[in-house]
Structure 1
Amino acid sequence: MPASTITPSPSSSPPAHRHIPVAVIGGGQAGLSISYYLKQRGIDHLVFEKHTAMHVWETRRWDAFCLVTPNWQCQLPGHPYEGPDPHGFMRKPEILDYLAGFRKAVDAPLLEGVAVTRVSRRDEGGYDVVTSAGTYGADQVVVASGGYHTPIIPRLAERLPETIMQIHSEQYRDPGSLPDGAVLVVGSGQSGAQIAEDLHLAGRKVHLAIGNAPRCARFYRGRDVVTWLADMKYYEMPVERHPLREGVRDNTNHYVTGRDGGRDIDLRKFALEGMQLYGVLEGYDGTALTFRKSLRKSLDEADRVYNGINAAIDKYIADNGIDAPPPSVYAPVWEPEEDPSSLDLAAAGITSIIWCIGFQPDFRWLDAPVFNGAGHPKHHRGVTAIEGIYFLGLPWLHTWGSGRFSGVARDALYLADRIEESLKAGGDRRHELAAAG
């Protein structure tokens, strides 16, 4: 049966061991992207989603959230951005509308509200896919559930006063949802830096513990930095050609924002305006939080990366004789007098803490030897060493854009080709065995 004719209903339990050629786990942009290409090939499949399709964009994003890459980079398969502002940055409602249009265009064979609890190899080949709505058999399994599953909150959080509200970045919505008083934001990656800015612009007293996140300019020499880097083919660089190789997958993303048309996020400027900055959070002594004396080093390193990216753009402009505004180098607008080592929570009036230190992957439901010692999948372009197991939608699966709207289509197309080849080879083998028998 062609995939386009499947109309599963999660409200009715399917018979045990119904067979499908391909099971896709996860109904986000990755899962629907591979569905798009499988449907083109007439490959029967089901997409399992334990919540609703693309739910993380609504449930894990704050109200003022916007893209940090320009809209023209939204290139989901069959559904490129075609709005009026290609060089702008969609805000949350616009993103949800864009994704709703993608879902409608794909019309995937989707089972929502169906959790996959275990995938295991059958002795005779193929896989058992155990779900909350019954068990399926599948020849191929595409894990498209991403890598951001379990919010990271440190154990020291358990010892903090109960009077302090503690939430993870995925739970933050807006400044008014927090109690009156000062706010501590822990982590300065994209979420931490943007949430700290959101609170700061609302007039809240913000304390920010920063880590090793780099930063980049929003605009440089007359264009968005993303546009320059795209012209320089940076986003086409595969992971094996990156100077860090697979180590780039562990990197924290550069902080920048698309808010109000796009601008830099300069933590030094925030400090001038009253935000309190600290180094890496290390502990709690019963009264005060303690910090590593790493603030100055972290700020300097973030600026080094910022200027380094701009210098690479300078070289590209010079090498190609491009007419552009003159170059510049960022000079710090503020320097810490000292690295603060502690923060007395009561004395500072801290009433809420937002943990912005990321997520851990959780693939415990997948019973297959495809993980390294840190629990991360081992693969090449999403293809694992175990026949029939694939990954899609992970950061730097193949290129920088793999976990984003810009690159997931290319990865999904590649995997769809591999799946088609594998299914055909399996069919040919069965035909040969039948003929021999």
Structure 2
Amino acid sequence: MHEEIDVVVIGAGQAGLATSHELGLRGVEHVVLEAESPGSSWAHRWDSFTLVGPNHLVLLPGAPYEGDDPDGFLSREQITHHLEAYAARLSAEVRHDTPVRALRPGRAGGYDLETDHGRVHSRVVVVATGAYQRPHHPAAVQSLPAGLACLDVSQYRNPAGLPDGAVLIVGSGQSACQIAEELALGGRDVVMACGRAPWFPRRTGGRDIFEWLLDTPFFDHQVSDLATPAARLGANPQVSGRDGGHDLSFRTLDALGVRLGGHLVGSDDATVQLAADLQTTLAASDAAHDWLRDLIVAGCERTGQAPPDVPDPAPFAPATVETVRVRDIGAVVVAAGFRSRYAEWIEVPGLVDEQGFPRHDDGESTVAPDLHFVGVHFLRNRRSALLFGVGDDARATASRVAGRLGLTA
């Protein structure tokens, strides 16, 4: 089958659905192609997963949160259902079970898309396949013994699904900490190979961390505001939305009995080796806490609010794990962040930069005209891929597409 479509949106997560909504408002006829079903990426998270941002920050255009628990945190089932309902209300056709296997420039312009149901040619394409496309495995993970159960964060479901024995968590961002906490509360021996991640109290001064940060430029930061472009790959602050939301930092995990070590160095058949850099990692985490505090205080000075009283981090020098016997480990859970996979299926030379992010001008590829991206982390700013920020990018991209097609933007 060969089909001609003016505009195709690839992906029916929050980015694709928000873009579809905005295209519809501008009279742009289009089709959304989704590999599985709307919101399916959320459905694949672990069983106890919840959003980290409060429900009232689910601000998708045409689909804001309207429930009775605005300060709560949606479960994976609830956010999936929210997106399914959103998709059902759109004016455009959303085709389920239609993965795009390849995208390449057409001979006469536009783009050819190879799907499981045939080829589609589209004049304009919006890629909205999400910020979390491929779990990242640090190189040292490859040295783990072949017989050791090793899962990434997209494969973990619950403690009962892991073999008996200690669990080594590789990573220390939000997902890593949440999984480590769940395992520790379930009575498992947990060792964490720690990377650098910021932390801050979930609530302070009577407000949630998100409320404080929204009063600062934090979510408006662009790539140019970062120390290096690679900082886009850094971890988010360590907090949890589970059980009403609570603190979740290295100190929290240590108090639960999680054994902390430096980053994963490698392994032989007998021993897993962790680096002797835990104290440096903890110091960097505390420094990030202080930076966030200073940012919030500066924000309060601008808005005239009384700043929260956030004390300096207390001294913290936990026992350091440097080796773990392989025979004591039941499973390894790799939660070291995600990377893009655009270059794996979009056949456009020079499409992405060194970190795998699209090279773009306001969301449109600089090497492939009429190829747009939405839902990319830091596409326009830090909120670009978030449930309360992706709508801004969707509106901007829809206006750009409509203008290109000669429609009222």
Q: TM-score range by the shorter chain?
A: over 0.9
> Which residue matches 1:379?
360
SS of match in other structure, 2:372: strand
Q: Which of residues 12, 22, 30 in structure 1 aligns to 2:15?
A: 30
Q: Which residue of 2 aligns with 1:421?
A: 403
Q: Equivalents in 2 of 1:146, 1:325: separation in Å?
A: 35
1:164-179 to structure 2, matched below 5 A, reads 164-179=148-163
Corresponding residue of 2:345: 365
Whether contact under 8 Å (2:144, 2:272) holds in the other structure is no
Name which of 123, 127, 135 aligns with 1:151: 135
Q: 1:92 corresponds to which residue? A: 76
5+ long unaligned stretches in structure 1: 1-14, 426-437
SS of structure 2 residue aligned to 1:171: coil
Could you list the runs of 5+ residues in structure 2 that have no partner in the other structure? none
SS at match of 1:367: coil
* Partner residue, 1:43: 28
Q: 1:199 corresponds to which residue?
A: 183
Kept after mapping to 1: 8 A contact 2:201/2:209? yes
State the percentage of identical aligned residues: 35
> Which of 34, 44, 53 is the aligned partner of 1:69?
53
Pick from 122, 137, 145 the counterpart of residue 121 of structure 2. 137
Does the aligned pair in 1 maintain the 2:173–2:238 contact within 8 Å? yes
Pairwise CA RMSD: 2.1
Give the corresponding residue for 1:11: none
- For 2:89 and 2:5, the matched residues in 1 are separated by 23
CA distance in 1 between partners of 2:255 and 2:77 (Å): 32
Number of the residue aligned with 2:210: 226
Residue identity matched to 1:358 = G
Decide which of 407, 429, 435 is 2:389's aligned counterpart. 407
Q: Which one-letter code corresponds to 2:324 in the other structure?
A: L
- Within a 5 Å distance, the mapping from 1:322-333 to structure 2 comes to 322-323=305-306, 326-332=309-315
Rg: which structure is higher?
Answer: 1
Shift of the 182–389 alpha-carbon distance from structure 1 to 2, 3 Å rule, reads same
Give the C-alpha shift of residue 73 in structure 1. Answer: 1.1
Instruction: Map 1:9-408 onto structure 2 (within 5 A).
Output: 15-16=1-2, 18-59=3-44, 61-154=45-138, 157=141, 160-161=144-145, 163-240=147-224, 242-244=225-227, 246-323=229-306, 326-332=309-315, 334-337=316-319, 339-346=320-327, 349-363=328-342, 364-369=344-349, 370-385=351-366, 386-408=368-390
Is the CA contact 2:133–2:340 (under 8 Å) kept in the aligned structure 1? yes
- Aligned equivalents of 2:57 and 2:382: distance in 1? 12
- 2:108 partner SS: coil
User: Once the two structures are superposed, what CA deviation does each residue of 1:311-365 show, in whole Å capped at 9, x if it has no partner?
Assistant: 3223333454424654422213x3135x44322222xx21111111233322222
**1:399 is paired with a residue of what secondary structure?**
coil
Asked if the contact 1:76/1:102 (under 8 Å) is kept, the reply is no
* Offset of residue 233 of structure 1: 4.1
Q: What SS does structure 2 have at the residue aligned with 1:167?
A: strand
1:321–1:402 Cα change, 3 Å: closer
Equivalent AA in structure 1 for residue 227 of structure 2: L
Report if aligned partners of 1:27, 1:48 keep a CA contact under 8 Å in 2. Answer: yes
Tell me, in whole angstroms, the C-alpha distance in 1 between the residues paired with 2:358 and 2:339: 13
Q: Scaled by the length of structure 1, what TM-score is found? A: 0.86
Find the aligned partners of 2:140 and 2:275 in 1 and give their Cα distance: 15
Q: Is the 8 A contact 2:131 2:340 kept in 1?
A: yes
Number of aligned residues: 404
**Deviations 1:93-127 (CA, angstroms, capped at 9, x unpaired):** 32223222222232541121112122222232212
The range that moved more, 205-214 or 163-172, is 163-172
Q: 1:40 to 1:201 in 2, by over 3 A?
A: same
- What is the Cα deviation at residue 228 of structure 1? 1.2
CA distance in 2, matches of 1:239, 1:161: 38
Amino acid at match of 2:317: E
Q: Deviations over 1:28-70 (max 9, x none)?
A: 11111111111122212111112222111011x1111111111
